[in-house]
C-alpha cells in the first residue's frame, strides 16, 4: 500500500525555516522589552514622589523675661529724702552687693557703706548696715512688684528704715517707698 490511508503522497513533517525562527525570536525579544518597560513604569507609579522639604523656620527668640526685682542689679532711691545727723540717705543697692549710700550735707560727698547683714529674698529684704559716724541703719521691706519694673517712676519696694545710735537710741524710723533704677 503505497499511499497510506489518505491515498496519496506520504506526509512529511514540515521543516521550520530560518525566517520563521527569526520572527519568533524577535517577537520574544519585543515581548521582554515591553514587559521590562511596563515594570519600570509600574515602579515609578508606586514610588513616592520626591518630597520637597522646606527648611525649618528660624527659631523665634524667646522674649527675654525681666529678672526678679530681688535679683535686678541697680539701685533704689527713697521717695522721701531724709537726713540724720548731717548725713542724707541717698540710695541703697542690693545687687551685686548690698550697700547704702549716704552723703554729708556739708560737703555733698557720697559715701558707700556695706551691709554686714543682708537677707534678700524674692519678696522681702532685710539689711543691717553699721557705720561708725551714723550708727546702725536697718531696712526691712517687701517688694511691691515681683519682676524688675521697666517704669522708673513706680515704687517697687516698701520698707521701714530705722537709724539707731550705737547705744540703741532711735534717731529716725519711717516707712518709705523706693523706686528702682538700672545700674549707671
Spans of all domains in the chain: 69-181
What pLDDT is stored for residue 125 in this prediction?
95
Looking at 132-169, which runs of residues are DSSP E strands?
Answer: 135-143, 155-164
Interval 11-32 mean pLDDT: 75
Residue 1: per-residue pLDDT: 46
- Region 43-72: mean pLDDT is 77
More confident residue, 18 or 107: 107
Q: pTM, whole model, 2 decimals? A: 0.62
- How far from the centroid of its chain's Cα atoms is residue 171's Cα? 48
Q: Per the structure block, which three cell numbers stand in for 171?
A: 534717731
Decide which of 3.30.470, 2.40.128, 1.10.3470, 3.40.50 is the CATH code for 69-181: 2.40.128
The pLDDT of residue 6 is above 80:
no
The three-point CA angle 157-163-165 to 5° equals 165
Does 177 score more than 90 pLDDT?
Answer: yes
Burial of 6 (0-12, 13-18, 19+ CB in 10 A): exposed
What integer pLDDT is reported at residue 134 of this predicted model? 82
Residue 42, pLDDT score: 77
Percentage of residues in the chain having pLDDT higher than 70 = 86
In a 13 Å sphere around the CA of 51, the CA atoms on its Cβ side amount to: 4
Residue 42 vs residues 39, 48, 49, 106, 134: alpha-carbon distances, Å: 5, 12, 13, 99, 96
Amino acid at each position: 500500500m503505497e499511499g497510506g490511508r489518505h491515498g496519496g503522497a506520504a506526509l512529511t513533517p514540515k521543516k521550520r525555516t530560518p525566517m520563521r525562527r527569526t520572527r519568533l525570536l524577535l517577537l520574544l525579544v519585543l515581548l521582554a522589552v515591553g514587559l521590562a518597560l511596563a515594570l519600570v513604569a509600574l515602579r515609578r507609579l508606586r514610588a513616592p514622589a520626591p518630597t520637597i522639604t522646606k527648611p525649618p523656620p528660624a527659631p523665634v527668640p524667646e522674649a527675654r523675661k525681666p529678672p526678679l526685682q530681688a535679683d535686678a542689679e541697680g539701685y533704689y532711691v527713697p521717695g522721701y529724702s531724709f537726713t540724720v545727723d548731717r548725713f542724707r540717705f541717698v540710695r541703697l543697692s542690693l545687687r551685686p552687693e548690698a550697700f547704702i549710700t549716704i552723703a554729708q550735707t556739708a560737703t555733698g560727698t557720697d559715701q558707700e557703706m556695706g551691709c554686714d547683714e543682708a537677707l534678700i529674698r524674692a519678696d522681702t529684704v532685710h539689711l543691717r548696715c553699721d557705720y561708725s559716724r551714723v550708727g546702725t541703719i536697718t531696712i526691712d521691706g517687701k517688694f511691691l512688684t515681683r519682676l524688675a519694673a521697666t517704669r522708673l517712676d513706680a515704687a517697687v519696694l516698701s520698707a521701714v528704715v530705722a537709724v539707731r545710735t550705737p547705744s540703741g537710741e532711735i534717731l529716725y524710723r519711717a516707712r518709705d517707698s523706693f523706686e528702682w533704677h538700672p545700674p549707671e
